[in-house]
Amino acid sequence: MLYRLTVHPFAAGAMATILLLLPLWLPLLTPVQALVPLPLFLVTLRAGNRAGWWAVLVLLLGAGVVGGGGVFPLVVFLLFAAFPLLAARLLRQGWQTSHCALIAFLLGNGVLVVILAITLVMGLDMPLLLSAEMNGMKEAVLTALGEQKMGSAALAEFRHTLEQIIAVVSLLLPAMVLTSWYLIQVANLLIARGVLLRWGEWGIAAEHLSAMRLPFPLVWAVIAMALLAVFAQGPWRFVGFNWGLFLAVPYFFQGLAILHRALQWYQVSHMLRVAVYTALFFWTSLVLLLFLVGLFDTWIDFRLRFFDHKEGENPSGR
């Protein structure tokens, strides 16, 4: 069914719209929103950029009907549709998947740098401003729950949970938004690549993503931001936490490359591989584990040590 739907732009746009709006009626399906770019990637890579734009138009019309027009369709375009159109165009011109992932990283990094620069220049205490705004929302929610005669013990526990969430979100909101965007776009790019390879429709030069390795100096930038987050105060602490978090995200994909190499080494079946990769959308602990594996691979080189030792490869960047 996916094969047929992603040939026609209107069907692909309708699929993306359903993935976007379905959680409004079934909140438990919220994780499926992460797959909104997938039909856009597939139809643009298979049928061209014009078909991709038609699919995006269908998505934006659906978003406009539900959101009442205004800003919501623009937000949907920026978060879900703009990068698939750009990446698919580049791939059809001969660019590699890793190049498109790098562009997504640079775009996200650029937006984050602008936000952090504004924070520093204006001397804004962003955690304080964000927490004040969210505390107002928290009190409104707690008041509504109190009117529904929620037990005092349960209400106190819920208040404590909300305060913990607000403390984290107010400190990391810019990086959380941009990290989510980057992970969603690159994950859907990799899924689309795998699906097209499976269908035998990938007309671009092969690329061994399991050999992906990040440049060694990047780890020092992550360490520098970590030190800034720990020892600095005020806006610079905010910069350290947010920039450090975003700079560290590519290590998840380095960990994913190691996982892919391990699955190849042990000749795991295709169905089991799909199950493992699907679990990444729902199992946060697995994502964290892959990030740590990717980070420590900078020094240990798991692929050379456990899988590629017969090839005599030397880790780059050392």
In this predicted model, what pLDDT tens digit does every residue of 131-184 receive, in sequence order? 888 888 888 877 777 777 777 777 788 888 888 888 888 889 999 999 999 999
Cβ(43)–Cβ(7) under 8 Å?
A: yes
Phi, psi of 317 (to 5 degrees): 80, 10
Q: How many CB atoms lie within 10 A of CB 177?
A: 16
Q: Which positions ≥6 away from 253 have C-beta within 8 Å?
A: 101, 186, 212, 294
Mean pLDDT over 201-215 rounds to 73
**70 occurs within a structural domain:** no
> For residue 203, what pLDDT band results from cuts at 50, 70 and 90?
low
Residue 69: what pLDDT?
Answer: 66
Residue 59: what pLDDT?
Answer: 94
**60 occurs within a structural domain:** no
**Burial environment of residue 178 by CB neighbours within 10 A (0 to 12, 13 to 18, 19 or more):** buried
> For residue 206, what pLDDT band results from cuts at 50, 70 and 90?
low
**98 occurs within a structural domain:** no
**213 occurs within a structural domain:** yes
Mean pLDDT over 24-51 rounds to 89
Range of the domain at 219: 112-174+200-318
Residue 309: what pLDDT?
Answer: 56
- Residue 108, pLDDT > 90, answer yes
Residue 209: what pLDDT?
Answer: 73
**135 occurs within a structural domain:** yes
| Number of domains into which the chain is organized | 1
> For residue 77, what pLDDT band results from cuts at 50, 70 and 90?
very high
Nearest to 191 by CA among 85, 35, 22, 30: 35
**225 occurs within a structural domain:** yes
**104 occurs within a structural domain:** no
Report how many helices (DSSP H) and strands (DSSP E) the chain contains, helices first. 15, 0
**49 occurs within a structural domain:** no
